Amino acid sequence: MGAMGAAEPLQSVLWVKQERCAVSLEPARALLRWWRSPGTGPSAPGADACSVPVSEIIAVEETDVQETQSSSGQWQKMENPFAFTVHCVKRASHHRWKWVQVTFWSADEQLCHLWLQTLRELLESLTSRPKHLLVFINPFGGKGQGKSIYEKKVAPLFTLASITTEIIITEHANQAKETLFEINTDSYDGIVCVGGDGMFSEVLHGVIGKTQQSAGIDPNHPRAVLVPSTLRIGIIPAGSTDCVCYSTVGTNDAVTSALHIIVGDSLAIDVSSVHHNSTLLRYSVSLLGYGFYGDLIKDSEKKRWMGLIRYDFSGMLCPPALS
C-alpha cells in the first residue's frame, strides 16, 4: 500500500469473495478498479479486471464481518477480518441499471478504514448529487401501484444514498401543481414524481409556473422569455405508457430511474407552450396533438380501469371524421 495524497492513486491487495485481488483507486480518473492477483504482490490488470466510476458509486459502508461470516461461511480462516462494501451501478441491457454490491476484505483494520474514508470523501465531493428531495406519489396512476413501487424499490435506495425526502401522496388532480405554487422549494435539490406522464405534467407546470411567478414573468404572453428553473425533476415510472421516462432514460424501470436520480444525472429537454387568445393553455415536452388524437385521449381518460387497451377501445369509438 502506498501513501495517498489528494490526487495520488491508492492501491492495495484485498479480498473479493474468495479471490485475492489488487484494488486501485485513481482520483484523477475517478475510477475504482480491481482484478485477480494470486501472487505475493499487486499485479497488472488483465482482461478480467472490473471497474466502476466513482460517479456511479451509490454509497460505501463498513460491513458487519461477523454477520457476513455466519451467513456465507466465507473467510473462516482469516483472523480478525475487516470489510467494507461498495454499493454501485451496474449497466444492464435495454438501458437498465441495476444496484450491485461488492465487498472487499482485509485483515488490516487501518487499511479498510483508509479505503472507507477515501471513497466517502470522493463521494462527498460530487456536488451534482441531490441530498433533499420532495416526492409526489400518484397512487391512482397506471395500475395503481405508485406507492408500492416507491416504498419497495425506490425508498431503500434513497436511504442507502443518504437522501432525505418529504413525501406527498396526491389525492386529487393538479394537487402537485397547486402545492408547488404554494410552498417554498428553496430547501429541495429536486422534485420527484412517482406516476405517469400526467403526474410529470403536473410537476412540470408547477415548477415552470412558480419560477415565472417569482420572476414576475407573465406566462400568458406568447412572446414572453421564460426564466429557466434550477430545480430538477426526477421521474419514477408508475404510469400506463411512461412516454417521458422512455424518451429521457430509455426504459420505464423504477430502479433505473432511482439510480439516475441518486448519481445526479440530468438531461435538458425542450418545452413548448400552447397559447390561445393570449392565454397559456399548457406546456408540452413529449407530444402535442388535436383533432382525432385529442378526442381519443379525452375518451380514454374515462376508461383508465381498462389499462393500455383503453387506447385501442377509444380509437374504435372515435373514428376520424371524413371530409
> Which residues are part of the catalytic machinery?
197
What is the spatial distance between Cα 246 and Cα 157, in angstroms, rounded to a whole number? 21
For 127-166, letters b (16+ CB in 10 Å) and e give eebbeebbbbbbbbbbeeebbebbeebbbebbeebebebe
Cα–Cα distances in angstroms (integers) from residue 84 to residues 55, 73, 77, 259, in the given order: 18, 17, 18, 21
What is the spatial distance between Cα 196 and Cα 40, in angstroms, rounded to a whole number? 55
Length of the chain, in residues: 323
In the sheet where 190-195 sits, what is the strand order? 164-169, 132-137, 190-195, 232-237
What is the spatial distance between Cα 190 and Cα 185, in angstroms, rounded to a whole number? 9
